[in-house]
Structure 1
Amino acid sequence: MSTSRRRSRDSVGDVSGQNTDVIPAQRRGARQILAAGIGNTAEWYDWYIYSFLTRYFAPQIFPGDNALAQTLSSFAVFAVGFFLRPIGGLLIGALADRWGRRNTLTLTILTMGAASLIIAITPTYASVGILAPVILVFARLVSGLSIGGEFAANTTFLVESAPEGRRGFYSSFQYVSTTIGQLIASGLATVLTLTLTSSQMNSWGWRIGFAVGALIALVGLWIRRAAVETHVPPVEHKPHLFEAIVRFPKPSLLIIGVTIAGTISYYTWTTYLPNYAEQNKVDPSMALLISTISLAFFGAIQPLVGSLSDRIGRKPLLIIFAAAFAVGIVPGLALIRSGPSFGGYLLISLLGMVLLSGFTSISAALNAEIVPGRVRAAGIGFPYSLTVALFGGTAPFIGTFFAERGNPGLFGWWVALLCVVSLVVYIVMPETSRKPLAD
Structure 2
Amino acid sequence: MSVITAQPAKAVSQTKIVIAAIIGNLLEFYDFTVYSFFALTIAKLFFPAHDPVVSTLLALSAFAIGFVARPVGGFVLGHYADKRGRRAALTLTIFLMAIGSAMIGLAPSYASIGLAAPALIIFARLLQGFAQGGEFGAATATLLETGSAKGRGFRASWQLASQGAAALMGSGIAALLTYQLSGEQLLDWGWRVPFLIGTLIMPVGVYLRRHIVEEPPKQAKAAKSNREPGLVRKWFLTVFAIMGMTVATYVLMYYIPTYSIQYLKMPPKLSMLVSIFAAIVSLTLCPLWGALSDKMQRRKPLILAGRVALIVLLYPAFWLMNQFPSLPVMVGLIVLLMLFYTMGSAPAYALMPENFPKHVRAGYLASAYAVAVSVFGGSAQLVVAWLIKVTGNTMAPAWYMIVCVIISLIAVSMLDETGGRELT
User: Aligning the two structures, in what range does the TM-score lie when normalised by the shorter sequence?
Assistant: over 0.9
Letter in 1 for 2:399: W
Output the CA distance in 1 between the equivalents of 2:10 and 2:207. Answer: 22
Q: Does 1:291 align with 2:275?
A: yes
Q: How does 1:235-384 map to 2 (within 5 A)?
A: 239=223, 243=226, 248-280=231-263, 281-312=265-296, 313-384=298-369
Query: Counterpart in 1 of 2:197?
Result: 212
**What's the CA shift for 1:322?**
1.7
**Structure 1 unaligned residues grouped into runs of 5+:** 13-19
Query: Counterpart in 1 of 2:393?
Result: 407
Q: Deviations over 1:69-88 (max 9, x none)?
A: 11111111111111211111
**What's the CA shift for 1:299?**
0.3
Q: Deviations over 1:142-195 (max 9, x none)?
A: 011111111011111111113112111111111222211111110011011111
Q: Deviations over 1:413-436 (max 9, x none)?
A: 121112111222334443111221
Q: Deviations over 1:290-331 (max 9, x none)?
A: 211231232011111111111231111111122122222122
Q: How does 1:97-108 map to 2 (within 5 A)?
A: 97-108=82-93
Query: Counterpart in 2 of 1:15?
Result: none
Q: Deviations over 1:19-76 (max 9, x none)?
A: x45x734223212111112222122212221111111121110132322211111111
Stretch deviating more after TM superposition (54-63 or 105-114): 54-63
CA contact (8 A) 2:83 2:219 kept: no
CA contact (8 A) 1:265 1:325 kept: no
Q: Percent identity?
A: 33
CA contact (8 A) 2:278 2:334 kept: yes
CA contact (8 A) 2:237 2:412 kept: no
**What's the CA shift for 1:114?**
0.3
Q: Deviations over 1:307-358 (max 9, x none)?
A: 1111231111111122122222122112212233322111101111111112
Q: How does 1:16-415 map to 2 (within 5 A)?
A: 20-21=6-7, 24-229=9-214, 231-234=215-218, 239=223, 243=226, 248-280=231-263, 281-312=265-296, 313-405=298-390, 406-415=392-401
CA contact (8 A) 2:238 2:411 kept: no
Structure 1 residues 172 and 62, CA gap change in structure 2 (3 angstroms):
same
CA contact (8 A) 1:88 1:148 kept: yes
CA contact (8 A) 2:36 2:257 kept: no
Output the CA distance in 2 between the equivalents of 1:245 and 1:384. Answer: 20
SS in 1 for 2:250: helix
CA contact (8 A) 2:299 2:348 kept: no
- State the number of aligned residues: 421
Output the CA distance in 2 between the equivalents of 1:157 and 1:57. Answer: 35
Query: Counterpart in 2 of 1:16?
Result: none
Letter in 2 for 1:418: C
Output the CA distance in 1 between the equivalents of 2:361 and 2:268. Answer: 42
Output the CA distance in 2 between the equivalents of 1:319 and 1:118. Answer: 41
User: TM-score scaled by structure 2?
Assistant: 0.94
SS in 1 for 2:54: helix
Query: Counterpart in 2 of 1:425?
Result: 411
Output the CA distance in 2 between the equivalents of 1:429 and 1:57. Answer: 41
Output the CA distance in 2 between the equivalents of 1:327 and 1:244. Answer: 40
Output the CA distance in 2 between the equivalents of 1:101 and 1:289. Answer: 36
CA contact (8 A) 1:282 1:339 kept: no
Output the CA distance in 1 between the equivalents of 2:37 and 2:229. Answer: 39
CA contact (8 A) 1:42 1:220 kept: no
**What's the CA shift for 1:245?**
8.5
**What's the CA shift for 1:437?**
1.3
**What's the CA shift for 1:277?**
1.4
Structure 1 residues 255 and 185, CA gap change in structure 2 (3 angstroms):
same
Cα RMSD, aligned residues only: 2.0
User: TM-score scaled by structure 1?
Assistant: 0.91
SS in 2 for 1:84: helix
CA contact (8 A) 1:268 1:395 kept: yes
SS in 2 for 1:385: helix
